[in-house]
A = this chain, B = another copy of it.
Amino acid sequence: MVEKNIAALVVPSGDPHQSEYMADFWQARQWLTGFTGSAGTAVVTKDAAILWTDFRYWIQAASQIGTSDFELFKQGEPGVPAFEAWLYQTLSSGDIIAMDGKIVSAANVKKYKKVFTEKGMTLATDVDLIADIWTDRPPMPASRAWMLSDTYAGKTRLEKLDQIRSAMAKTGANTHLMTTLDDIAWTFNLRGEDVRNTPVNLAFALVTLDRAILFINPSKVDGKLVSAFGQDNIELLPYTRVEEILGSLGQETRIRLDPDFVGYAFYQAVDPKVWIIEKINPATELKAVKNETEINHMRQTAIKDGVAMVNFLHWIENRTDSAQVSEMSVAKTLFDFRKQQLDFYNNSFDPIMAYGEHSAMCHYSATPESDVPLKREGMFLNDSGGNYLTGTTDITRTLNLGTPAKQEIKDYTLVLKGHICVASALFPEGTKGFQIDTLARQFLWKEGMNFGHGTGHGVGFFLCVHEGPAKISPFPIDVELKKGMLLTNEPGLYREGRYGIRLENMILVVKDRKTEFGQFMKFENMTLCHFETSMVDRELLCQKEIDYLNTYHQQVYERLSPVLDPQVAAWLKKKTAPI
């Protein structure tokens, strides 16, 4: 820093694809600070070393940076400035701040530049100090890339490129830059293992109205792939050449890109004379709406994943006393149940197996240090999912391993009421997720309770378990819930130091009736697994809610029992008995 006259180095969490889950190669912030959480920003100046992270990670970060020189700033706490505001306050006019422009979005860099420029400070985005000093940096991921068959994907690469090109043309674009790995995987029907639990490949893509270039490490692509792409008129170039090609675009280019997801370095690489159209990627919008083939696969996947879950819950309840079960071991058990299912590929995320007070932490992840045995009492929250060739799943169930207390039953019932209210909602076409979110919270609010996460997120098809652009959340994301969108419905309740509850199904947006007030939509449940009727206080439910629960349970039993072991089916019959 002294050599390069840099007053502050900013090391955020990020990769050149703005991924939620990143390969180790880009875990620079973790390497620098020792903090392993998924979100945080480190800042180093002459006099200070500070780590910002949000409330989810305050305890973990404090413990992990304990012996280092880093100080923890609790992001979001009243009086704690954001890192850019802190730099604005602390540094002086003329100072240079360095940040790797590859891993921070163009939108964020522009925002930071505006703040710093106001005080005469400079943001340098072309300095990567970390690359020079991180000597034991893990290698770039280099998994083999492979084709997802059209029989799973439902649409060919060329059909998808056609859709993308129509969307481009509508906004006057003749070129489109994609940096987001799931959009690229979806568009090219390509899968890989470059990111843990997310079947994607490191790549960039540039689509014009008649060509497409995929920037991918040549060692990842075998001859069969090369020839398949050749047939589809898709050019392959090395991953590292994207900036050079962006710099050589002709002035007649009108490039569409999403500044929230394109790294600043790539945005800057585009010739300044080229017209940039800032808009969401067409693939982001297109892949969120599942096609008929995908939907049919997912209906089957619901059965497979339901069987794995019911086997797991049956095993939990009937395990012998001698069985050594802990949070970490049951994660393995559930994985094994899923692995028995056809077309299973991997977990869709690291499962949250949270026993007792651990269940009160929304983002708990058991480690050898935190792992505890599961006793014959207490609350157990399990949130997990599988990636199948036939779709991605995400499910949460909560149960008491002994006899539930009165308050646990009341809390479970209130969370279930919210879950049912969303699942059985009817809503006008054009409704957005933030309008649905309140349905899940209203019964908790009435009792002075709430939960600190969104009600639901989009889910990919054999892709990311968290997929944009739609959400069901109090955060006002201006995206309509369209027919074919796959989301989760997962209200919860967390009593710190005691227990947490979350009840999650996947739901698909489908059409309902058309009235004089327009087209109405509803949700179809895409998860088949019983809830714990032993934790339901019938008195707190209205008749319609009771009917919903009984109908759902009947459906769970009817669809799963034919493929379950008879003994497990008999157990499920009891678990799904009408209340």
Contact = CB atoms under 8 A, between A and B. Distances in A.
B428 A450 contact: yes
B428 A520 contact: no
A147 to B, nearest CB: 38
A496 B516 contact: yes
A449 B515 contact: yes
Contact of A542 (B432, B436, B520, B542): B542
Interface string A470-498: 00001010100000000000000001100
Interface stretch (A304-312, A320-328, A343-351, A439-447): A439-447
Interface in A246-302: 275
A442 B438 CA distance: 10
A476 B434 contact: yes
A55 to B, nearest CB: 13
A171 to B, nearest CB: 11
Interface residues of A, number: 37
Contacts of A425: 442, 445
B432 A435 contact: no
A443 to B, nearest CB: 11
A448 interface: yes
Contacts of A520: 445, 448
Interface in A407-451: 421, 425-428, 431-432, 434-439, 441-442, 445-450
Contact of A445 (B426, B448, B450): B426
A446 B426 contact: yes
Given A476-B476, A476-B478, A448 B515 contact: yes
Contact of A435 (B431, B438, B447): B438
Nearest to A431: B474
Contacts of A542: 542
A574 interface: no
Interface in A447-463: 447-450
A350 to B, nearest CB: 28
Contacts of A438: 435-439
A431 B441 CA distance: 11
Nearest to A437: B435
A323 to B, nearest CB: 35
- Most chain B beta-carbon contacts within 10 A, residue among A434, A445, A518: A445
Nearest to A275: B118
A406 interface: no
A445 B428 contact: yes
Contacts of A518: 450
A448 B495 contact: no
Contacts of A445: 425-428, 520
A517 B432 contact: no
Interface in A489-519: 495-496, 512-513, 515-518
A478 B434 CA distance: 12
A513 B434 contact: no
A79 to B, nearest CB: 13
A436 B438 CA distance: 7
A517 B439 contact: no
A118 B275 CA distance: 9
A448 B517 contact: yes
A435 B447 CA distance: 17
Contacts of A476: 432, 434, 476, 478
Nearest to A496: B516
Contacts of A428: 445, 450
A516 B411 CA distance: 14
Contacts of A275: 118
Nearest to A444: B517
A518 B439 CA distance: 20
11 contacts: A426-B447, A432-B474, A435-B437, A436-B438, A437-B438, A439-B442, A445-B520, A449-B517, A450-B517, A476-B476, A495-B516
Interface of A: 118, 172, 275, 421, 425-428, 431-432, 434-439, 441-442, 445-450, 474, 476, 478, 495-496, 512-513, 515-518, 520, 542
Given A435-B437, A448-B513, 12 more contacts: A425-B442, A425-B445, A426-B448, A428-B450, A434-B435, A434-B476, A435-B474, A445-B520, A448-B512, A448-B515, A448-B517, A542-B542
